Chains A and B, each alone.
Chain A
Amino acid sequence: MGADVMDADVVDRYMTELGSRLRGSKKQVRELLTETRDSLADATEAHVDRGLTEREAQERAVEEFGPVREIANEYQAELAVAYGTRTLVWLAIVLPLMHMAWEYGRMLLIGPWQDFGTRPPAWYLFVAQANDLTSGIASGVALVALVLGRVLARKYDTKLLAKAGATIALLAVAAVLLGNLAIILATAHVDASRLVQSLPMTIASLITWIVIVRLGLLARRCLSCATIVV
């Protein structure tokens, strides 16, 4: 009886060790662990029905499930892909929406740039156009990555897909960040007063930066989820 009680924790110990090795969306981790616990409970019941003691049944169930390190590695690859997918969806939706909202607000509250009296230099227009394009391109790249991820899901190693998705997400955010930084520095160089022309637009710009930084943190977490996979 004493041994049975002590070893009734075999599944719990396995679950604790497995859970401690997983990183990703809390919901995804919880779902995977729930499914795992159910599977181990089912296997234990089946082995008990075949005549094993509870202790033996749990040990057999855990042994059949696989070494915790190996299983955690496979789970982590899936969690990393899921996190990458979620981040890419956010990038594909938020970046163009945010850019359109900012441009619409700017037209409404400030008006076209040429209304400022002097036409900005050619290099400034180039930076502005490049910044306008960056969000669209980053969003498009995220969308293509999502489609390719689905098409290639069974053709390529999950670990490779997780790392590729995370890298794409990080590069897309970095490009948008650089584009925004470039236009701010360029505007400050041409006419710094334009940066504080309208309080609502200054607030909108701050919100834009908060969103970009948030997306950057998501992308970085995405990469850390993908790179802990061996």
Chain B
Amino acid sequence: MKPDALRGHLDALLLATLDGVQLHGYAIIEALQQGSGGALDLPTGTVYPALRRLERAGHVSSDWSTVGGRKRRTYELTQAGQRALNAERDAWREFTTVIDGVLGGGGKWAQT
């Protein structure tokens, strides 16, 4: 999947990846790639500024800890982040329902 198509959804993808878990940066990147079956083709370096942006918005909090002898910054969802994720999921379902209704099948677009 092209990076430009993903960029607009990166915040939501990161929120979803952190749903119920506390992860460090690379673990988030791995989870994103595994979750997409390797289809997400985004420069992994763009994940870190996006995490900072989410932190600024109060949707994610972070903390430094030492894991396996290496200093790690781990991230987790805040309550506001959980609410934002729920809103993103609702908006996505609504969006896909509408688009699927037109493109999905049975409509005039699908028949042409």
Q: Which of A43, A67, A77, A151 contacts B49 (CB 8 A)?
A: A77
**CB pair A32 B48 closer than 8 Å:** yes
In the complex, chain A residues whose CB is within 8 Å of the CB of B72: 38
Total number of B residues with any Cβ neighbor in A under 8 Å: 24
Dominant SS among interface residues on chain A: helix
Tell me if B105 counts as interface (CB < 8 A to partner A). Answer: no
Dominant SS among interface residues on chain B: helix
Assembly CA distance A149 to B55 (angstroms): 12
In the complex, chain A residues whose CB is within 8 Å of the CB of B108: none
The A-contacting residues of B in range 37-84, CB under 8 angstroms, are 43-46, 48-49, 52-54, 56-59, 64, 70-73
**CB pair A74 B57 closer than 8 Å:** no
Instruction: Tell me the nearest residue of chain A to B71, going by C-beta.
Output: A34
Give chain A's interface residue range (CB within 8 Å of chain B): 20 to 34
Instruction: Tell me the nearest residue of chain B to A46, going by C-beta.
Output: B30
Across the A-B interface, give the 6 residue pairs with the lowest CB-CB distance, nearest first. A66-B43, A153-B57, A42-B26, A71-B45, A66-B45, A74-B49
Measured CB to CB, the residues of A under 8 A from B are: 31-32, 34-36, 38-39, 41-43, 46, 64-67, 70-71, 74-75, 77-78, 81-82, 85, 149-151, 153-154, 158
Q: List 29 A-B contacts (CB under 8 A).
A: A31-B64, A31-B73, A36-B45, A38-B26, A39-B26, A39-B29, A46-B30, A64-B44, A65-B43, A65-B44, A66-B43, A66-B45, A66-B46, A67-B43, A70-B43, A71-B43, A75-B45, A75-B49, A77-B49, A78-B49, A78-B52, A78-B53, A150-B56, A151-B57, A153-B53, A153-B54, A153-B57, A154-B53, A154-B57
